[in-house]
Amino acid sequence: MTERRPLLQVEAFSGGYVDGIDIIHEVGIDLYRDEILTIIGPNGAGKSTLLKAVVGALPFERGRRWFTGEDVSGWSTPRMIASGVGYVPQVDNVFTSLSIRENLEMGGYMRNTGLRERIGEVLAMFPDLESRPNERASRLSGGQRQMLAMARALMLDPVMLCLDEPTAALSPAARGELFARIYKIHMSGVGMLMVEQNATEALVWSDRAVVMVDGEIALEGTGTEMLTSSEVGRAFLGQAEGEGFTIEEGSTL
Amino acid sequence: MGLTLVFGVLGIADFAHGDKMGWGMFLAFFVVSSEGANLGFAGGRFGSLSFGWGLVVGLLVAMIGVALISVVLERLVFRRLRVTGGGFFVFAIASLGMSIMLRAVIQLIWGPSNFRFTPGIHPAIEVLGGIKVKPDQFFIVGVTFLAAVLLYWLLYRTRFGKAMRATADNPGLAEASGIDTNRIRVGTWIIAGIFGALAGVMLGLQAEVRFDAGFRLLLPLFAAVILGGIGNPWGALIGGLTVGIAQEVSTEWINTGLKPGIPFVIVIVVLLLRPRGLFGQQR
């Protein structure tokens, strides 16, 4: 039997945007290819900063990170992207003046072959986009833009996708649709690392989750453990004392 | 078109563009003038046009020369300013400095005199309604239209052009998508330099070859770019035609000396009524 190895390992990682001022402190996480790992926590906890650190977008960093067993400490974002990491930033995550198809072409800029075929494959995952490939991204709704941002990140056929608050500012219906899409992409063999403010919904879809507070990992557990934990519920899910989140027996994702 | 490209893709108001046109004009003049003729380039004419192969070679030399000047200035000035966090106004003022320097060097080499690519009288021919047009002017209009088609094809049909537009739209995301944005910047300067040289040679063909000819055209150029919509090659073409025609037609009602003020009026009206220009995209 082969040993289950993490896709991503981050060890004793500290860093920030200004030299000498750390936003995250000695953080360690790992992600397996067959799981969705969600990072939750209050505003300013360093969740997005940790995600940026993972994709090599943090200007100042200390610590180590491995991806697919290779030491990728200090690697730049383009290099991480080329090695199989997809990254969807929280804002400005599509080229608004370009069409849907052109956005996908730019997502696949590093591909030397098979660009047209891959665009077809990716569009097939997002029917909303497939029906109007020449539409300008600026004309899309918030949910459709997020879909396009994910589609763009999938163009290089990544093995891991990093999503920074993908459901921010979306309606409940659009959030549900987006989470379902994320899950579907995950089931096609893509490890998911996700930062989310809509913690309750995100945890329903997550295999594991970590809670960040003040730049450190405060709690770690499975999605179900987090949902049923009264401590997490009170602090991060907006539940009252004694209230718990229950998952109906036999419910499926 | 070069100006709108640099403005649209790099976000730089390049006040040196007019003087780069001046350099294009003088590099071509060097080839077709007696110094160039001694090198064996000049001579001959194409049909009723006023020039021959000498100017074609001159145009190629001008394009290469101005592209090189643009790349050197990017490496020596703009890249350093970018690294140190220079903003829009820093770039604009730096380009103004380069404009003065480029013009001064032209004057140092060729002096303040006026020249022509090909001396002599080049008669106009009568077209519809008694309007007289020189054959060279037909050529200039044709070349300008072809240049706009070429730039449009480059920006909207090629991978490099789409990457240029992506970099203009969102440089951070472009970099995160694996686009080498430094290469895109250098490529943009090269293309803008080539178009600037082409414009300079066409200007020299239509008017006189003079050290400040490009600089004198700078304000109408900006008016054309703003009118057409920043970053749009068709906009630059239509904007250029509109500003040029408006300037010439205005002399029917106002003193010729006031003609240079027309581009300012156009800029003010456009900024008040349609700030993104005729063909500018809304984000």
The model's pLDDT over A3-56, given as tens digits with 9 standing for 90+, comes to 788 999 999 889 889 888 989 999 999 999 999 999 998 888 999 999 999 999
The SS3 assignment for A222 reads: strand
Distance from CA of A186 to the nearest CA of B (A): 21
The SS3 assignment for A2 reads: coil
Q: Residue A158 carries which side chain, given as an amino acid letter?
A: P
More confident residue, A200 or B37: A200
Which residue's entry shows tokens 């080839």? Answer: B31
Rounded-to-integer distance, Cα B259 and Cα A193, Å: 62
Flag whether residue A77 sits within 8 Å of chain B, measured between CB atoms: yes
Smallest Cβ distance to A87: which of B163, B174, B176? B176
Note whether A11 and A137 are within 8 A (CB). Answer: no
What band does A88 get if pLDDT is binned at 50, 70 and 90? very high
Smallest Cβ distance to B283: which of A57, A78, A97? A97
Rounded-to-integer distance, Cα A243 and Cα A232, Å: 11
Rounded-to-integer distance, Cα A63 and Cα A10, Å: 8
Using CA atoms, how far residue B98 sits from A138, B78, B172, B212, B215, in Å, is 37, 11, 28, 14, 12
User: Within 13 Å and on the Cβ side, how many CA atoms surround A20?
Assistant: 0
Mark yes or no for CB contact B283/A138 under 8 Å.
Answer: yes
Distance from CA of B168 to the nearest CA of A (A): 9
Q: What is the mean pLDDT of residues A245-250?
A: 41
Percent of chain A with pLDDT over 90: 60
Query: Measuring CA to CA, which residue among A55, A48, A76, A60 is closest to residue A15?
Result: A60
Mark yes or no for CB contact A98/B166 under 8 Å.
Answer: yes
Cα distance between the two ends of chain B: 21
What band does A138 get if pLDDT is binned at 50, 70 and 90? very high
SS3 for A104-144 is: HHHHCCCCCCCHHHHHHHHHHHCHHHHCCCCCEHHHCCHHH
Identify the sign of the CA torsion A33, A7, A178, A211.
Answer: positive
Note whether A228 and A242 are within 8 A (CB). Answer: no
Mark yes or no for CB contact B281/A92 under 8 Å.
Answer: no
Looking at residue B220, its pLDDT comes to 87
Residues of chain B found within 8 Å of residue A109, distances taken between Cβ atoms? 159, 163, 177-179
Note whether B217 and B243 are within 8 A (CB). Answer: no
Looking at residue B217, its pLDDT comes to 86
Nearest CA in chain B to A82: B178
Picking from A101-105, A203-207, A235-239, B127-131, which range would have the lowest pLDDT averaged per residue?
A235-239
Flag whether residue A55 sits within 8 Å of chain B, measured between CB atoms: yes
- The parts of chain B modelled with pLDDT lower than 50 are 283
pLDDT digits (tens, 9 = 90+) for B238-274: 888 888 888 888 888 888 888 888 888 888 888 898 8
pLDDT digits (tens, 9 = 90+) for A28-39: 999 999 999 999
Mark yes or no for CB contact A152/B177 under 8 Å.
Answer: yes
Mark yes or no for CB contact B176/A102 under 8 Å.
Answer: no
Distance from CA of B5 to the nearest CA of A (A): 15
Packed helices B135-157 and B181-206: angle between N→C axes, nearest 10 degrees: 170
Query: Measuring CA to CA, which residue among B173, A230, B192 is closest to residue A221?
Result: A230
Residues of chain B found within 8 Å of residue A97, distances taken between Cβ atoms? 165, 168-169, 281, 283
The SS3 assignment for A208 reads: strand
What band does A237 get if pLDDT is binned at 50, 70 and 90? low
Flag whether residue A90 sits within 8 Å of chain B, measured between CB atoms: no
List, in order of start, the domains of chain A with CATH numbers. Answer: 8-90+162-236 (3.40.50.300)
Residues of chain A found within 8 Å of residue B178, distances taken between Cβ atoms? 78, 81-82, 109-110, 156
| φ/ψ (deg, to 5) at A164 | -100, 105
Asked whether residue A151 carries a pLDDT value surpassing 90, the answer given is yes
Note whether A156 and A188 are within 8 A (CB). Answer: no
Q: What is the mean pLDDT of residues A174-187?
A: 91
Distance from CA of B173 to the nearest CA of A (A): 7
Backbone dihedral region for residue A73 (phi beyond 0: left; psi -120 to 50: alpha; all else: beta): beta
Helix (H) or strand (E) holding A47: helix A47-54
Looking at residue B43, its pLDDT comes to 63
Mark yes or no for CB contact A105/B175 under 8 Å.
Answer: no
Interface residue ranges in chain B relative to chain A, Cβ cutoff 8 Å: 159, 162-163, 165-166, 168-170, 172-180, 281-283
More confident residue, A236 or A77: A77
Its pTM stands at: 0.84
Each residue of B143-153: b (16+ CB within 10 Å) or e?
bbeebbebbbe
Rounded-to-integer distance, Cα A22 and Cα A36, Å: 27
Nearest CA in chain A to B8: A97
Note whether A64 and A12 are within 8 A (CB). Answer: yes
| φ/ψ (deg, to 5) at B72 | -65, -45
Supply angle C-alpha B197, B198, B203, rounded to 5: 95
Using CA atoms, how far residue B178 sits from A81, A93, B163, B167, B230, in Å, is 7, 14, 10, 11, 26
| φ/ψ (deg, to 5) at A142 | -55, -45
| CA Rg value for chain B | 19
The SS3 assignment for B274 reads: coil
Distance from CA of A77 to the nearest CA of B (A): 6
What band does A83 get if pLDDT is binned at 50, 70 and 90? very high
| φ/ψ (deg, to 5) at B170 | -155, 85
Supply angle C-alpha B93, B98, B99, rounded to 5: 90
Flag whether residue A109 sits within 8 Å of chain B, measured between CB atoms: yes
Mark yes or no for CB contact B176/A77 under 8 Å.
Answer: yes
Smallest Cβ distance to B179: which of A55, A102, A109? A109
Asked whether residue A102 carries a pLDDT value surpassing 50, the answer given is yes
Mutate: best of A77, A95, A152, partner B, most B CBs <10 A: A95
Task: Give residue B246's Cα distance to chain centre.
Answer: 19
Chains A and B form CB pairs within 8 A to the count of 63
Asked whether residue A1 carries a pLDDT value surpassing 60, the answer given is no
